[in-house]
Structure 1
Amino acid sequence: MPRADAQRNADALLAAAEEEFASHGVDVNVRAIAARAGVGTATLYRHYPRRSDLISAVFQREVDVCVSQASHLAAAHDPGTAVRLWIEHYARFIVTKPGLAAALHFGDPAFRELSGYFQRHLGPVLQILLDAAAAAGAIRDGVDPLDLLGAVAKLCIPPIGTHDDSRSERMVAMLLDGLQCRANPDRARGPAT
């Protein structure tokens, strides 16, 4: 049973890290993560020898959740709503990772692969959602998925000194409303006279 225990510990550590990162940022003390997972710090370091290994694992796990959400949303909603809900899910992922952007740009070699992982996984699923929404006339045509992901991420970073928890939600909503511009040119021009 050591393998099952090891997997259970790894899963518990990832779940605990997600919660701690959401509450306290990615710079949270690893002892707090180990305590929340119900394991010792030695177990944490056995699974994730460096903090960057743990951050990378959490990031990849959450990217995978975002990817799986795309097909569920596309099956359950019209294309325009699926795009909106998926972007809102992605925005929550970004907002709940204070300090992640700084950590990713710190230069740690462990993070080099994350950018590629992000682009390879999130870009294609968002492209599928965008294509379906554009074909349905719900959003404008020609939106680059990586541009949109970058714009949402930037909108989710609060300005220094700002503590308005709903700001990113409002900003992302405005961006999504903007995607609808020129989605239906006849509607934008109004009735013919």
Structure 2
Amino acid sequence: MTACPAKGARKPRADAVRNRERVLAAAKLVFGQGGEAASLEAVARQAGVGIGTLYRHFPTREALFEAVYRREVEQLVDLAEALRTEASPAEALRRWMRAIVEFVATKKGMVAALAIVVKGSSDLMAYSQDRLTRAVEALLRRAAEAGEIRRDIGPEDLLRTVIGLCYAQDRPDWQETVLRLLDVFMDGLRRRPDADQREAQGGLFAPAAGPRR
């Protein structure tokens, strides 16, 4: 039997849902650009809504920052799942790492505000770390088992490397620099004939040893 909706409960109006999504998409773009333009008024203008509409959905700046952050994390998780059907597991991993750069660009634009959010919501960083680690672990395992990348790197190491590259750059064109460095990093992850013997001795995704006889 299908459960009846709670008495008095109403689904959000379609236009309200669309406005919320437009605000979140606009906030990602505005915060990603950073600087003085990263204001709520700029977000409202980019979304094509009034500032009052923005505040109805997100009554505080912190609420908007947290919503954008959580939306970005969930989109990265969804992307990782979609990329698991890519013909080349290594290419799927490379595309996901490039998406992380875009995620960090948005995060950089609201780093000060996120610090306030995290202080009041200590589980936010733990939530994102867990979700992203599990997402990239599946991509790494698939690429390693396909023999396309080396087996001695784990998801935490990969995330630290990619995010570290992003925060080590502070020039206006930092994203272009990081994307180029990611290609170099990806070349280093790929299997090399001279590394096969070393990897055969074990790795994070090496097959479990059979029982001793």
Q: Could you state the TM-score of these two structures normalised by the residue count of structure 1?
A: 0.81
Q: 1:115 to 1:54 in 2, by over 3 A?
A: same
Instruction: Please tell me the residue identity of whatever aligns with 1:91.
Output: V
User: Secondary structure of 1:122's match?
Assistant: helix
Alignment of 1:45-84 (within 5 A): 45-84=55-94
Q: Does 1:137 align with 2:110?
A: no
C-alpha separation between the residues in 1 aligned to 2:49 and 2:97?
35
Alignment of 1:174-193 (within 5 A): 174-180=184-190, 185-186=195-196
Partner of 2:8: none
User: How many Å separate the matches in 2 of 1:183 and 1:129?
Assistant: 22
Q: What are structure 1's unaligned runs of at least 5 residues? A: 189-193
1:119 aligns with one of 116, 126, 129: 129
Aligned counterparts of 1:26 and 1:181: Cα–Cα separation in 2:
45
Contact 1:73–1:82 (CA under 8 A) maintained in structure 2: yes
Residue 98 of structure 1 pairs with residue 108 of structure 2: yes
The counterpart of 1:152, out of the listed 145, 162, 172, is 162
Q: Looking at CA atoms only, which structure, 1 or 2, has the larger radius of gyration?
A: 2
- The verdict on how the C-alpha distance between 1:55 and 1:178 changes in structure 2, with shifts beyond 3 A counting, is same
Percent identical pairs in the alignment equals 39
The alpha-carbon distance between structure 1 residues 13 and 183, as it changes in their structure 2 partners (threshold 3 A), is farther
CA contact (8 A) 2:19 2:49 kept: yes
Q: Cα distance, 1:185 vs. partner?
A: 2.5
Query: Which sections of structure 2, spanning at least 5 residues, go unmatched?
Result: 1-10, 199-213
The residue number in structure 2 matching 1:191 is none
Question: How many angstroms apart in 1 are the aligned matches of 2:131 and 2:55?
Answer: 28
One-letter amino acid matched to 2:128: F
Structure 1 residue 26: Cα displacement: 9.0
- The 3-state SS of whatever aligns with 1:138 is coil
Taking structure 1 as reference, are residues 34 and 142 closer, same or farther at Cα in structure 2, changes over 3 Å only? same
Answer whether contact 1:16 1:37 (CA < 8 A) is retained.
yes
TM-score (ref. length: structure 2):
0.74
Displacement of 1:149 in angstroms is 1.2
1:8 pairs with 2:29? no
What is the CA distance between 1:130 and its match in structure 2?
Answer: 0.6
Q: d(CA) in 2 for partners of 1:6 and 1:133?
A: 41
Deviations 1:168-192 (A, max 9, x none): 112222222222266872489xxxx
1:164 corresponds to which of 173, 195, 207? 173
